Structure 1
Amino acid sequence: MKINKILNNTKGDRWIWLIVILLSVISLLAVYSAIGSLAYKRGVGAESILMKHVAMMVAGLALMYICHKLDYNWYKGISKILMVITIPLLLYTLVFGSHVNEASRWIAIPGTGLSFQTSDLAKLALITYLARTLSRKQENIKNVKESFIPIMGAVCVVFILIAWANLSTALMLFGVSILLLIMGRISVKQIAITCLAGAFLLTAVVMLGPRRHVYMTRIHTFMHPEATNPDKSFQADHAKIAIATGGIFGKGPGQSSEINYLPEAYSDEIYAIIVEEYGLVGGFILIGIYLFLLYRCVKIATKAPKAFGTLLAAGLSFSLTIQAFANMAVAVGLGPVTGVPLPFVSMGGTSILFTSVAFGIILSVSRDNDEPKKVVVGEIKEVAMA
């Protein structure tokens, strides 16, 4: 009865819910295939790791359900609070966060044994803040002091704080921000100024940042693979091998051989494992799912009666799909190696939760679009007289 009650109270775009279910099933199959080497290294059974992943996905679905039941205008109210929390957290992460591969991206959640990337929170915070600010400032959107400086300041501050340790995520978030500025009717001149500021900050990070040699090595490896030390191109090479040996229909579930070689096969390189086991057919199906997700989200955004709903749904959907295609592009050799997971498919801890929140907010906008609007008597009279 409780399950039926929950299903009856599930609102929003049904296709989005179906996409979430499909991605969940794909994730369980792919992660279970890819965690064999991880289980061996940890000295535990693969089933125990899978159960933790299942628990995180169930928690994500529950969080998605809760978020979709909230009026999406509620997120407008907390957008400033999120920004106030996010910027200090990003600074704290850079100074006191856990260092992995010379990057400080994670902070521990006290008493849980879990850690999370503050950049995941920053994506939600910046997108909701931009959607709120752009929708509220439409009447004086050309005003530099009241509109442009606060918007550009938020984008640049978040960009530099994330880019210092996670350049790929920062670049994707910056791209989403520019798309929102275009949708929010910011002038071409002001957008150009924002892009120039972003280019300056990017140059500073690449040339002066603590991971500058990592970035330069990855770019050189991508541009000149034939002249690169095999140790440096190990991950990219084995991802290509996995895809090349998958063929049209793949080797079959659980038959991947590259899981024994690919680092982060269950996370950053999970798309290569999917193609190896399910072939080009499986790979194209997954691409189609993300494209269909973007299509449904764009429909939700265009149907939203208020600018905030349109910008919020568009920004979150752009963020999810850009991240998905960035991950898949790296796997097939169309970009340098990054640490970007495949949304709702890669094994992850709190990243699944933040992705679930993003889905929940999009569904909240969709739910509001579908609900019948109350029309007051005065409005009916006006329509009748017209």
Structure 2
Amino acid sequence: MTAATTSDFQAILDGNTHKTIPISAYESNLAGIYKMIPPSPNPITFDPMIHLTYYATTDPVVKDRFHQTRRLTMDELGLTHPHQISPIGVSDPFQLFTEEAIIIMRRELLQKETFLKYARYSYNSTSGLDCVVRGFVKDGDEIICPFTYSAWTSSKTMELVSWMAGVELEIVMDYEIAHSNISMKSENLAEEERIKHARELVRRGSNGEDLPAVVGWHYDSYPFVCVLMLSDTTNMIGGETALRMGNGGEVAVVPGPVRGSATVLQGRMIEHIAPVPLGASERITMVTSYRAKDPKIRDGSVLTTIKPELNWGSRYNQFYSEWIDYRVELMKKKLDIIVREKFDASGKFDKKKVVESLKEIEEYIKNTYE
């Protein structure tokens, strides 16, 4: 690995603008898709009773389907860990947002000025237009995408995501609301992939259950994520998420989501791979990151995959400022708890408990600046 130069540091400070997507790439790959999104004559305000599938219907079957969604526990995955924040490891896809909501979020994300300002090439892109759009929903005090912001911060949305995760969650920080991963290819290339895959299945005598190639084993930097599919997956081959289990390295497969559905994953504790689907001309996902709402529960967030020095989508001044704000605010809550609970059941000062609590905060401070 080569040492970083002065120009490298300056590029990071400048917001990694050297990795912005050129207007020509937008015009050739995304402009046509944006024009196909049904327009809305007036701004639409997010309404959980209209835009969350669970609340938008009175059909008890839909509600029952939500509650019957398969959730694999950490124990079932062989990954039980003292630092896990929930017994749930991962959920199967479940319908989260309605079609109208998806249309509006696609419109806000792919709007030309917003995309060109906030999109950056993915640091691990191998080909085509693979990019990440981060910090575009709310920039400082300005809400750029009001519908998307309200959709993810709604208490009703938070309740559904928390129920599926098995623990009450809250969004890590505004910067991590709806960061989006976009992979594009021409329809001709997508069709070639579908044909090639079909021929390969015939050659191997497969029953069609084979998984396509996937790359990128990794742990997430935050305790939990909710991954929402914004694309039509009808012609998509693959798209399943694979998890590394603790039972001798076996792999568990979570079905690929359909448009409007989401999956929750305790990604900080589970090594997993992002799918590389074939046969689709676009793949757009939105990811919102969470930690436990209860300040007593450990926050194991790190910056392994998201710091501006690595992930070009994270802009230095905005990202680190919000990181420090949320970490310091959480430390204040933890310190308040120590003050409130410094006595034991008999009313005596609990020295051992207080010392251990202070050591945990000391570690949290160290992890924050490291």
Which TM-score band applies after superposition, normalised by the shorter structure? under 0.3
Pick the structure with more strand per residue.
2
Pick the structure with more helix per residue.
1
Please, what TM-score do these two structures have when normalized by structure 2?
A: 0.23
Greater RCO, CA 8 A, separation 6+: 1
Please, what TM-score do these two structures have when normalized by structure 1?
A: 0.23
